[in-house]
Amino acid sequence: MFEVLPALDVHGGRLATIGPDGPTPTDAFDGDPLTAARAFADAGARWLHVVDLDLAFDGESRNLDLVEEIASIGPFVQAAGAVRTEDEIRRLVAVGARRVVLGSAALGDPEAAAELISVHAGHLVVGIEVEGGRIRSRGRDPVDLDLMETLGWLVAGDARMFLVTSVDRVARLGGPDVALVRRVARAGRPVLAAGGVSETGHLRDLRAAGAAGAIVGRAALEGALDLGKAFADRL
């Protein structure tokens, strides 16, 4: 089943987006992540993608209580935020995250990343942020890695799922990078796609390219995408 995951980016306990200068507050749902989470749950969401921007940019988990509250609402939580350590993974799982996204920055140390993937295989999604055809992470301690070389050792190391983010399309509504998703899907692992999704046609394009699901951020918060229809169709 193709899954649509509305995204809740949180900074200082409030909804935010990632701009060129880092996290920026948003007025959607009056900035309240819990209100947004309940609305998405009511619309039929099975999963919510919750991003801790404090952790991603400052290295401090300030939103664990909020993640726990969101996890209690009903949908499964997939938690993210440039996660790269054992402790960060365990804390997020402890407060109810069903899956945790290992941040792209963690891939700069293949040995340590492979160990985390091995230990937490059942909970871990490997994040791959792509810009200019290379893995270029946002947030703290960015990396710049060859995409296909990195995919090679990740697959060999038994990574079970990828989240591919088209960095230059995040918070824009012009459509996803279908060619990139198709390229990564050829590795033979389930792929979630992020960046540029704003209509059901984009979701169908991603499914046709081999994606197992998509993250919807700005289009979900602003109502550009009819989430109820997307959830009901399950494409």
Q: Could you tell me the residue ranges of all domains in the chain?
A: 3-233
User: What does the alpha-carbon distance between residue 28 and residue 117 come to, in Å, rounded to a whole number?
Assistant: 35
Mean pLDDT of 99-125: 95
Q: Per residue in 38-97, pLDDT tens?
A: 999 999 999 999 999 999 998 888 999 999 999 999 999 999 999 999 999 999 999 999
CA proximity to 175, closest of 193, 158, 163 = 193
Query: Residue range 167-178: average pLDDT?
Result: 85
CATH topology of domain 3-233: TIM Barrel (3.20.20)
Residue 173 has pLDDT above 80, yes or no: no
pTM, whole model, 2 decimals? 0.95
Reported in sequence order, the residue ranges of 37-103 that DSSP labels E, i.e. its strands, are 47-52, 76-83, 99-102
